[in-house]
């Protein structure tokens, strides 16, 4: 993303959620601006910055036509700029996961997002056409800028500001039912109970309709009485009425759904089923009532077909419902982690209270084998905590006084007392569940293909059925009426777009849940899809490749007085919170050196820190900056080279223009970084490191970890430029970082990975948040993304091939060659099987294991 200081945020947009959206917006505006790079899209603020002189009304229309409602806004120079690093050195990080730190997912952002979204539980939706109709109904409401429905869990989300009751009426006016989801957890429990009841009901309906259909078929085949004669006419009329009663009792929801759709000028799966089974029954009852009105060869009844089709579809829906329940297993496992009670210490007494009654500040005891009820900080005792369900890390982590613990984790050994810091919906677990649910309901770009097809699918199928009927009636063999009816009915039944509507959301739900099991929180559906296409991963150094815990390794003073060197450096660094500053302060404390009092402290981003001592400038920072200030560092060159050869960072100290010495600070490479980078290489991905550290240090780390390329001595604001540069070369780029200064680069990349131990700003700028500070999380997320996208492709291919082959065969394509005309009963079985196949294939993802987990299991 280019940074042009002459740009002004002139458009307000909605619905843009990823870098793919940003590229579409820039492309839509390119005819007006002449260059897409002159447009800046701010996803966080939902604004578009344009060069001066552009007609904002015309630009707003272009963006709206691209699918992102836009309107001109007042000119402002306040283009959102990320906060600068608070320290001179290259990166700012938070402590690593190994130190017991967990990401504090920013609730403010989630709340703000939720305030703009209204969540609905939808009833009556059965196929991709239903999804398209409901989304159109929601977006037609004034104040709603976007909407999407998830057929996998029958929920819809409307983005914008509108009265929920108005949204409910809009859905109902389309022929479906809706209700507002007030409490997601309660809604999940209610839905599970409703699904269990509905499953049992479907099985009962299936048994009744299949029993009748099979009975009629066996009876007809055994006594050759499927044809109406004068002797059995009354019997068939009676059986026809019985069949009608069974059809209404076991398939009434199809007919009421079709009627509602008709009243609202829509067509969906219910329409096709109702037309197909209804046509077969009406034809049969006419034959039974007035057989003489038809040729003798056409006096054949199909009551068994109507009953069996409904029975088979009910069976398919029951199996589909059962399989769909497994797709949300990951969320249920997260929900099961929540403790029901907590042992709270109040007024010196321990008492078991419902977790809802725990307040921030309460002291809680957790004994061995118990789950941690809320987030907090240990005040007494030590233990080992199993955090595998939150971070994907299989080994328990040692915890002691001052360390944080998270709700849902398991205390495996010692007894601890900790103080509650975040309770209820503020806990990390609650926010993880919220993020996972949101991502499971999102729709990646590949899923929108089904939406576009579904908009015209059902009307097209109805037209094909009419054409097939006309062809059979006019040029088909006798009995033409029978062949016409069978062909039209079979086309209508086999073409139901259930599989098409389930192909994407089922895989997304399982894939997002699987990623959460490995500690990767995917915040957007597009990030899930794009991660599988990555061919370049750019890594920040400190806190990403390294542990983020630098320590002083060398001190060399020009006058050999290392104590004074440390005292002066500590005098500057005591004003900073940067990890390098902490390393120097820790060294000074260990050497019992007191910091010198320094005035006028100033941090210069990417350069160093400075202050005043006795009226002279005191500077501590990198070589390039100090040499620019006229300081001669030649005498310290050899020592600095030794530091960098050991993958350390040399920090030079100078008073005025006089060099006082160099301090070497090294940040150890994480134990698993090399293995994780090797996994990325095995996946065909190029790895680059971008750091503000000196070239020699960067080169040493790159050589040690096997990184393909690196950029050193990069200013924080230039990281986003490098990301854009590599994207311009045709790479699909991921940025991995954890610091404030990584936020612009994370936002500018195709997929941003935020190390979860980092800052809120970095986490908010990324599409994927890693709950542990390991690069294995990046490789895991990419493997899961590729598996999920591959699964979606399989589902879509199966759905398209099913309809592409099934509809022509049902219409009678094979009849001229082999005399084969598909039975409506077989069409009903095939349609149900297609939906079950898609859902079952999506559930295969639940068994997926990344190469790292497979390797761990193999080593056991």
Q: Inform me whether the pLDDT recorded for 709 exceeds 50.
A: yes
Q: Cβ distance 618 to 610 under 8 Å?
A: yes
As a residue count, the chain comes to: 860
What integer pLDDT is reported at residue 266 of this predicted model? Answer: 77
- The model carries a pTM of 0.68
- Structure token pair of residue 342: 């907590």
Q: Cβ distance 660 to 565 under 8 Å?
A: yes
What integer pLDDT is reported at residue 448 of this predicted model? Answer: 67
- Out of 96, 270, 540, 693, the active site residue is 540
**Tens-place pLDDT, residues 12-39:** 787 676 666 777 788 888 888 777 777 8
**Tens-place pLDDT, residues 279-330:** 889 988 998 998 888 777 767 888 888 898 898 888 888 887 787 776 666 6
> 3-state SS of the chain: helix, strand, coil percent to 5?
55, 20, 30
What integer pLDDT is reported at residue 265 of this predicted model? Answer: 79
CA separation for the pair 81, 716 (Å, rounded): 12
Q: Cβ distance 746 to 766 under 8 Å?
A: yes
Q: Cβ distance 710 to 702 under 8 Å?
A: yes
Q: Three-state SS across 568-589?
A: HHHHHHCCCCCHHHHHHHHHHH
Any idea which fold 359-422 has?
2.70.150
Q: Cβ distance 435 to 521 under 8 Å?
A: yes
Sequence ranges of the domains in the chain:
8-83, 114-183, 359-422, 519-546+669-777, 551-666
What integer pLDDT is reported at residue 93 of this predicted model? Answer: 37
Q: Are strands 410-411 and 416-422 parallel, antiparallel or unpaired?
A: unpaired
- Its CATH class, for the domain covering 519-546+669-777, is alpha beta
Looking at 51-65, 339-353, 512-526, 653-667, which range is the least confident one? 51-65
What integer pLDDT is reported at residue 111 of this predicted model? Answer: 35
What integer pLDDT is reported at residue 82 of this predicted model? Answer: 31
Please, which pLDDT band fits residue 72 given cuts at 50, 70 and 90?
A: confident
Q: Cβ distance 273 to 313 under 8 Å?
A: yes
468 — alpha (psi -120 to 50), left (phi > 0) or beta?
A: alpha
Burial class (CB in 10 A: 0-12, 13-18, 19+), 251: buried
Q: Cβ distance 526 to 17 under 8 Å?
A: yes
- Its CATH class, for the domain covering 114-183, is alpha beta
Q: Are strands 375-380 and 416-422 parallel, antiparallel or unpaired?
A: antiparallel
**Closest by Cα among 111, 192, 173, 178 to 149:** 178
**Same CATH topology for 8-83 and 114-183?**
yes
What is the rounded average pLDDT of the residues 445-459? Answer: 71
Please, which pLDDT band fits residue 522 given cuts at 50, 70 and 90?
A: confident
Q: Which residues of 58-67 are buried (b: 16+ CB within 10 A; e: fewer)?
A: ebbebbbebe
CA separation for the pair 325, 718 (Å, rounded): 47
What integer pLDDT is reported at residue 330 of this predicted model? Answer: 64
CA separation for the pair 652, 551 (Å, rounded): 16
CA separation for the pair 542, 697 (Å, rounded): 12
Angle at 469 between CA 466 and CA 473, to 5 degrees: 140
Angle at 774 between CA 550 and CA 402, to 5 degrees: 60
What integer pLDDT is reported at residue 94 of this predicted model? Answer: 36
**Closest by Cα among 392, 395, 390, 394 to 407:** 390
Choose the most confident range, by mean pLDDT, from 19-33, 90-104, 665-679.
Answer: 665-679
- Bridge partners (DSSP) listed for residue 651: 663
Any idea which fold 8-83 has?
Alpha-Beta Plaits (3.30.70)
Q: Inform me whether the pLDDT recorded for 829 exceeds 60.
A: yes
What integer pLDDT is reported at residue 632 of this predicted model? Answer: 92
CA-to-CA dists, residue 10 to 46, 164, 276, angstroms: 11, 30, 54
CA separation for the pair 10, 41 (Å, rounded): 11
Active site residue 540: yes
- Structure token pair of residue 296: 């003798």
Q: Inform me whether the pLDDT recorded for 89 exceeds 50.
A: no
Long-range contacts of 329-333 (CB under 8 A, 24+ apart): 329/513, 329/846, 330/436, 330/510, 330/512, 330/513, 330/514, 330/516, 330/517, 331/188, 331/433, 331/436, 331/437, 331/440, 331/513, 332/188, 333/389, 333/517
Q: Inform me whether the pLDDT recorded for 75 exceeds 60.
A: no
Q: Considering only residues 830 and 186, tell me which one the structure prediction assigns the higher pLDDT.
A: 830
Q: Inform me whether the pLDDT recorded for 223 exceeds 70.
A: no
Phi, psi of 611 (to 5 degrees): -165, -170
Q: Inform me whether the pLDDT recorded for 449 exceeds 80.
A: no
CA-to-CA dists, residue 387 to 384, 398, 404, 405, angstroms: 9, 11, 12, 9
* Percent of the chain scoring above 70 in pLDDT: 86
Q: What is the DSSP letter of 368?
A: T
- Its CATH class, for the domain covering 551-666, is alpha beta
Cis bond upstream, residue 479 (ω within 30)? yes
What integer pLDDT is reported at residue 471 of this predicted model? Answer: 93
Phi, psi of 839 (to 5 degrees): -65, -40
CA-to-CA dists, residue 660 to 122, 569, 626, 663, angstroms: 71, 10, 12, 10
Please, which pLDDT band fits residue 98 given cuts at 50, 70 and 90?
A: very low
């Amino acid at each position: 993303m280019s940074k042009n200081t002459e740009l002004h945020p002139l458009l307000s947009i909605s619905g843009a959620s990823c870098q793919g959206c940003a590229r579409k917006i820039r492309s839509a505006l390119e005819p007006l601006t002449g260059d897409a790079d002159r447009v800046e899209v701010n996803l966080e603020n939902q604004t578009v910055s344009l060069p001066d002189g552009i007609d904002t009304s015309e630009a707003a229309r272009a963006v709206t036509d691209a699918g992102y409602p836009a309107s001109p806004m007042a000119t402002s120079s306040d283009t959102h700029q990320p906060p600068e690093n608070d320290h001179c050195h290259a990166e700012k990080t938070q402590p690593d996961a190994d130190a017991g730190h967990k990401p504090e997912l920013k609730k403010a952002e989630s709340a703000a997002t939720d305030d703009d979204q209204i969540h609905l539980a939808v009833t009556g939706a059965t196929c991709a056409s239903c999804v398209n109709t409901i989304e159109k109904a929601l977006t037609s409401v004034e104040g709603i800028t976007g909407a999407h429905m998830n057929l996998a869990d029958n929920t819809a989300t409307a983005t914008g500001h509108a009265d929920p009751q108005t949204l409910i009426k809009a859905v109902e006016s389309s022929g479906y039912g809706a209700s507002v989801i007030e409490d997601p957890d309660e809604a999940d429990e209610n839905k599970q109970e409703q699904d269990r009841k509905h499953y049992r009901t479907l099985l009962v309906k299936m048994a009744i309709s299949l029993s009748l259909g099979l009975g009629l078929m066996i009876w007809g085949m055994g006594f050759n009485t499927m044809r109406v004669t004068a002797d059995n006419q009354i019997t068939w009329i009676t059986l026809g009425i019985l069949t009608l009663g069974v059809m209404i009792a076991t398939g009434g929801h199809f007919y009421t759904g079709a009627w509602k759709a008709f009243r609202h000028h829509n067509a969906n799966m219910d329409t096709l089923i109702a037309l197909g089974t209804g046509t077969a029954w009406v034809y049969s009852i006419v034959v039974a009532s007035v057989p003489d009105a038809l040729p003798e060869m056409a006096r054949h009844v199909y009551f068994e077909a109507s009953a069996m089709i409904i029975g088979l579809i009910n069976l398919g829906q029951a199996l589909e419902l059962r399989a769909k329940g497994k797709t949300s297993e990951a969320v249920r496992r997260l929900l099961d982690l929540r403790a029901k009670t907590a042992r709270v210490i109040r007024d010196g007494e321990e008492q078991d209270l419902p977790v809802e009654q725990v307040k921030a500040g309460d002291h809680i005891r957790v004994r061995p084998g118990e789950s941690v009820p809320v987030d907090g900080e240990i005040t007494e005792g030590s233990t080992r905590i199993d955090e595998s369900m939150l971070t994907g890390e299989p080994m328990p982590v040692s915890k002691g006084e001052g360390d944080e613990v998270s709700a849902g984790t398991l205390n495996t050994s010692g007894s601890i007392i900790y103080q509650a810091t975040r309770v209820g919906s503020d806990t990390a677990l609650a926010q993880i569940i919220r993020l996972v649910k949101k991502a499971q309901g999102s729709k990646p770009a590949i899923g929108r293909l089904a939406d576009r097809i579904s908009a015209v699918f059902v009307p097209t199928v109805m037209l094909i059925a009419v054409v097939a009927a006309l062809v059979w009636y006019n040029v088909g063999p006798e009995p033409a009426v029978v062949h016409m009816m069978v062909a039209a009915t079979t086309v209508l039944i086999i073409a139901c777009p259930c599989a098409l509507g389930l192909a994407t959301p089922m895989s997304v739900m399982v894939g997002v849940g699987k990623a959460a099991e490995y500690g990767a929180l995917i915040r957007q559906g597009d990030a899930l899809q794009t991660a599988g296409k990555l061919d370049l991963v750019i890594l920040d150094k400190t806190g990403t490749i390294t542990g983020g815990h630098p320590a002083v390794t060398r001190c060399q003073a020009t006058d050999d007085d290392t104590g004074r060197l440390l005292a002066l450096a500590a005098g500057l660094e005591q004003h900073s919170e940067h990890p390098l500053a902490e390393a120097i302060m820790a060294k000074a404390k260990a050497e019992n050196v007191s910091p010198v009092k320094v005035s006028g402290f100033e941090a210069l981003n990417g350069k160093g820190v400075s202050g005043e001592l006795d009226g002279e400038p005191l500077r501590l920072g990198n070589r390039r900056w100090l040499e620019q200030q006229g300081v001669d560092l030649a005498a310290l060159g050899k020592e600095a080279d030794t530091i960098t050869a050991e993958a350390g960072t040399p920090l030079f100290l100078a008073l005025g223009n006089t060099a006082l010495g160099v301090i070497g600070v090294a940040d150890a490479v994480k134990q698993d970084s090399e293995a994780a980078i090797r996994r990325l290489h095995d996946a065909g991905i190029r790895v680059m490191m971008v750091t503000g550290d000196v070239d020699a240090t960067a080169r040493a780390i790159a050589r040690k970890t096997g990184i393909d390329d690196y950029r050193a001595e990069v200013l924080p604001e230039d990281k986003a430029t490098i990301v854009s540069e590599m994207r311009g070369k045709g790479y699909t780029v991921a940025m991995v970082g954890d610091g404030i200064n990584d936020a612009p680069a994370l936002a500018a990349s195709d997929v941003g990975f935020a190390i979860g131990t980092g800052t809120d700003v970095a986490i908010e700028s990324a599409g994927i948040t890693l709950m542990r500070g390991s690069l294995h999380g990046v490789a895991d997320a990419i493997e899961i993304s590729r598996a999920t996208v591959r699964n979606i492709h399989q589902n879509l291919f199966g759905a398209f091939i099913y309809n592409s082959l099934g509809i022509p065969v049902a219409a009678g394509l094979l009849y001229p060659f082999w005399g084969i005309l598909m039975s409506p009963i077989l069409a009903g079985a095939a349609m149900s099987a297609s939906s079950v196949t898609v859902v079952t294939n999506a559930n295969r993802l639940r068994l997926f294991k990344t190469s790292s987990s497979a390797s761990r299991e193999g080593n056991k």
